Every structure is written in C-alpha cells, then in structure tokens.
Chains A and B, each alone.
Chain A
C-alpha cells in the first residue's frame, strides 16, 4: 500500500453522537461516542426531539475529539462519511448537515452511508471479510439477514415483519419493570436463571428467513396477566430466560440454515443485540458445529458508533461513490448495493 487513507465517520441516527477516524478501512485511529442514555433514561426510551437537541450540543465537540485523539487535521482526511439513514430523521439531519459543512469547509468529498452497511462493516475492523458472507444484524431497530457476495453488494434475505429483536427486548424489560435500556438487563437475568418458562417461537413459513417477535412479546404479557390474575407473582429470571431462549433459538436456527444454503465462508453478527451474551454463545456453538467461522465485534463496535460508518464509507470511497450537498436524512432508507 502506497499511502494511508484516513476517513472521517459521523453517526447520529439515534441517541449516540459519534465521530471516528479509520485508517484504510480497517484500523480505528479514534472513535468517540457520546451517549444520551443518561438523559433519555428518565423518559423510558429515546425521545426524538430530545435526541436532536442533544446532537446539536455534541456534534462539533465529538468531531473535534476524534481529530484530536487521532492527532490529525482535516487536510489529512480523504473523505467525510456520514449515516444517511435509516434512523430518526431529526437526529440524522444533525450529522448530515455537520458533515456537509465540514466537507465544504475543507473541500473533501462527502459520502452518505447506510446505517446497516455500517454495522456489517464493523467486522472489517476486527477481521478481514471473506465472501460470500452472511451477516445477522440485530438491534433495537433491525433484525436482518444479509448475504454479501463481494464488497458493497448486499442481498437482504430476511427481515422482521413487526418488532425488531431489540425492540422486543425493551418491551419485555418494561413488562418486567426493568429500567431503560432493558436489553442488557433481560440478558443479565436470563444468564443468572437456571429455569425458564417455555414461550412460543415464530418460525413463519418453512423457507422464510423473516422474523416476527410481536407474538412472543404478547405471550410474555399474557403469561404475566394470567399468573397475576390468580394472585400469583411471576419469577422475573425465569421469564427473562424463557423469552431470551425463544429469541436466540429463532435467530440461531435461521442464521445457521441460511449460512448452509448460501454456502458462506463466514458469518458475522452486528448491531446492539449482537452484544447479548446468550445470542453470542448460541451462535458460536451452532456455527462451530457446522464448521463455519463466526465473527462478532466487541460490544463497543456492536452498538452504534462512527468507526463502522467510516469503515463502510472507505469501501464506498474506493468504489467512487459520492454524495452531494443536497443529501437528505432518509429515515426509511433501503439497503442498496453500491457494487
């Protein structure tokens, strides 16, 4: 390689204001994440208007910190990459307009990145991608199975028809009276439990790689009501364990099935729920049994961050993809291939 290429990534699609500098698409030089969890907690979830307000407060600070920590100046950069969608539109617009202004001021190319492409490319920061690969993206907003035959080529083979896996986690956490964000709490209770309630699994049609979690959420609620109507009290650990087993089971079985059908060289997991210990364990064991390499980034790269945006953005930059300054925030942006 002749010259090192530094890419700035910016991510503000939900409640994290993040900026990062990545070298040659694979090496994190700096990754700053300013989370709003503390402020949003009191509302029991992410309030979009508050998210937007906090992003404006943080955005230049976070980019400055990313540059400082990398000991770089804007002229060292090759391109500015930013999450274009999907996400909360008001939140997306802060990162996008900061990226546009920064790109214009420093005469750098601007590239809009799909948030899910970012999650997938988080893996490029820990291990080289080998194609074809299968990516399972699981977060509060997403549950998707994506096949990649080469860089920048995405084939969506399955997605959720209702709630995202992370959303189901948060809702069940609320039923159990656990504080926001509930996903990690449910995971913790499930890990500690030696018994579990048997909840249904939504397999959908035989050949479908789609998911559905709203039925599961309802059966947890019904189970609670039934017990309480009889004057009893539910065991939170057992409910958490049962719920988690149902989610993990479906995710694991469908992932393994897809990995075999598409004959992939590796499976990668990404997104906030990929931090879930129950899911990691289950996927690791199941794929090990099939002899398929499985990679999942460390938790800091599973949850929303800007390094993943810069990593995906680097590949787009190499392929000549450019956005212009009329870029808009796209809350429902579909995942499209650039190659």
Chain B
C-alpha cells in the first residue's frame, strides 16, 4: 500500500511517500518559496526518488487547513485532482492536528498554532492518548488572548508547536508562565508523513469532487455582507 502525503497549508512545504508503513521519502522545507513553484515538482521528485509511478499510488492524504488560503488550496487542488484522475481514495486531515503530532510524546496538552494576524491565531489543542491524538479544544480561528485565558484554567502543562509560536512567545509566557513549554525548531515543521498517519486511522475517505479546504473563516466580503444585512433589519 503506497501513500502520498502533501502539506502546503502554510508556508512550509512537506511531501512524503509511505509504503507498507515505511516512510520511503519525505521532503520538508521551511523556505519561503511559493507553493505553486515547488509543490508539484516536489511530488514528482519524491515519486521519482522512491521509484514510483503515479498509477502505483494507492491513497492520498492532504493537509486540509486551516492555514494560508492560497497555500492550502494548492495542496488540496493537487491532491483532489490526483485522487480523482487516478481514481484513488483521498483523505483530508487537519493541518493543526498533523502539526500537533510532532508533540505526541509530550505529557500534557499539545497546542499547535498558526498565526492569523491582528493577534488572532488558528489553534487546536490536543492530548496524546497512546498513539492517538484527542481533541481538547476544537480547531479554531480565535483571539490569542482568549485562547490563553481558556488554557490557563486547565492547569496543565502545554506544549506549543509550530513555527509561528515564536511570534507570540512572550505573551504566551506572560499568561501561562511555567505551564507553557515550547517545541524546538525540529518539531515545528509540519510533516506530510503525519498527514498520512492521521489519514490511515480515518474512518472514511472524502468525496473527491466536493472536497474543499477547511478555512475556518468566512471571507471578508461575506462578513461585510452579513454585517450590512443585519444592519438593515
């Protein structure tokens, strides 16, 4: 069974191929290179290096967001087009959960975080239970301050994972003090193999044609429309 995994949900890029539960190849890069330039070449390269033709791929896992709108769309578009034309099952997994998997050995909460500007973040809070990650707080787009207040009440050690965490490290320390722990740079890179791992325990594959990213946020234009409509009432 050969799995292709793709994660372009944020500025890092990760592509992996897993064959019979062996990670054959994985490329993860934090370089700020446009995903449209690198994503598909990375998929092709991984297949070539692993000596796999496209039709040999049995299943595809993709990070479905939240994250950068354009980034996540590139990964999802590639994944759903491959899955559809190769007629193989497609699995979307949370970009936050895949990232949180980097902290699976941590004894406490794992909070994966992606910056969403203006003191907002995308965040998910998990706890490892054996080899599984269990949601403590649903993936959400939220104000960082509110999230930290909520986390404080749990009185648990919390590991913060993700490259964007360092943007907010001082405010996290301010709120949580000793409760807060920070992953090293080696654990801040999202890994496509984590997306595959999560996909393998998914109950059901996606309906390929209708599969779309999990933005976790409506667009500004829609928000304005809602505002306008409610002010008319």
Q: A290 CB to closest chain B CB, in angstroms?
A: 46
Known contacts A50-B219, A56-B213; A100 and B73 CB within 8 A of each other = no
Interfacial chain B residues near A56, Cβ < 8 Å? 73, 76-77, 80, 212-213
CB-nearest residue of chain B relative to A324?
Answer: B41
Known contacts A49-B219, A93-B70; A102 and B212 CB within 8 A of each other = no
Question: Do A64 and B209 have beta carbons less than 8 Å apart?
Answer: yes
Q: B23 CB to closest chain A CB, in angstroms?
A: 21
CB-nearest residue of chain B relative to A42?
Answer: B225
Interfacial chain B residues near A105, Cβ < 8 Å? 54-55, 81-82, 85-86
Complex: A101 Cα to B83 Cα, angstroms: 9
- The answer, yes or no, to whether B38 is at the interface (CB within 8 Å) is yes
Question: Do A101 and B81 have beta carbons less than 8 Å apart?
Answer: yes
Question: Do B36 and A60 have beta carbons less than 8 Å apart?
Answer: no
A117-125, A201-209, A326-334: which lies at the interface: A326-334
Interfacial chain A residues near B222, Cβ < 8 Å? 50
Chain A proximity mask over B74-115: 1 for CB below 8 Å, otherwise 0: 101111111011100000000000000000000000000000
Instruction: Report which of A43, A96, A325 forms a contact with B41, defined as CB distance below 8 A.
Output: A325
Known contacts A50-B219, A50-B221, A64-B209; A101 and B73 CB within 8 A of each other = no
The B-contacting residues of A in range 313-339, CB under 8 angstroms, are 324-329
Interfacial chain B residues near A100, Cβ < 8 Å? 40, 78
Complex: A26 Cα to B78 Cα, angstroms: 29
Question: Do B40 and A101 have beta carbons less than 8 Å apart?
Answer: yes
- The answer, yes or no, to whether B178 is at the interface (CB within 8 Å) is no
Instruction: Report which of A42, A64, A94 forms a contact with B84, defined as CB distance below 8 A.
Output: A64
Interfacial chain B residues near A60, Cβ < 8 Å? 80-81, 84-85, 208-209
Interfacial chain B residues near A328, Cβ < 8 Å? 34, 36-37
Question: Do B221 and A104 have beta carbons less than 8 Å apart?
Answer: no
Interface of chain A, main secondary structure = helix
Known contacts A326-B41, A328-B34; A98 and B225 CB within 8 A of each other = no
Complex: A325 Cα to B37 Cα, angstroms: 8
CB-nearest residue of chain A relative to B33?
Answer: A326
- The answer, yes or no, to whether A97 is at the interface (CB within 8 Å) is yes
Interfacial chain A residues near B54, Cβ < 8 Å? 104-107
- The answer, yes or no, to whether B13 is at the interface (CB within 8 Å) is no
Tell me how many residues of A have a C-beta within 8 Å of chain B: 34
CB-nearest residue of chain B relative to A73?
Answer: B85
Complex: A50 Cα to B54 Cα, angstroms: 31
Q: A65 CB to closest chain B CB, in angstroms?
A: 10
Instruction: Report which of A102, A104, A326 forms a contact with B37, defined as CB distance below 8 A.
Output: A326
Interfacial chain A residues near B221, Cβ < 8 Å? 43, 47, 49-50
Q: B212 CB to closest chain A CB, in angstroms?
A: 5
Interfacial chain A residues near B70, Cβ < 8 Å? 52, 90, 93
Interfacial chain A residues near B80, Cβ < 8 Å? 56, 59-60
Complex: A253 Cα to B11 Cα, angstroms: 50
Interfacial chain A residues near B210, Cβ < 8 Å? 57
Question: Do A101 and B209 have beta carbons less than 8 Å apart?
Answer: no
Known contacts A56-B212, A57-B212; A104 and B40 CB within 8 A of each other = yes
Q: B32 CB to closest chain A CB, in angstroms?
A: 14
Interfacial chain B residues near A94, Cβ < 8 Å? 73, 77
Q: B36 CB to closest chain A CB, in angstroms?
A: 5
- The answer, yes or no, to whether B39 is at the interface (CB within 8 Å) is yes
- The answer, yes or no, to whether A281 is at the interface (CB within 8 Å) is no
**Residue in B77, B209, B212 with the greatest tally of chain A CB atoms within 10 Å:** B77
Complex: A47 Cα to B219 Cα, angstroms: 9
Question: Do B219 and A101 have beta carbons less than 8 Å apart?
Answer: no
Chain A proximity mask over B120-137: 1 for CB below 8 Å, otherwise 0: 000000000000000000
Interfacial chain B residues near A98, Cβ < 8 Å? 77-78, 81
Question: Do B44 and A104 have beta carbons less than 8 Å apart?
Answer: yes
Binding site for B on A (CB under 8 A): 42-43, 47, 49-50, 52-53, 56-57, 59-61, 63-64, 74, 90, 93-94, 96-98, 100-102, 104-107, 324-329
Given contacts A101-B79, A104-B54, 14 further A-B contacts (CB under 8 A): A43-B221, A53-B212, A53-B215, A60-B208, A64-B209, A93-B70, A93-B73, A97-B36, A97-B77, A98-B77, A100-B40, A105-B81, A106-B85, A325-B41
Closest 6 CB pairs between A and B?
A101-B81, A47-B221, A100-B40, A325-B40, A97-B77, A60-B84
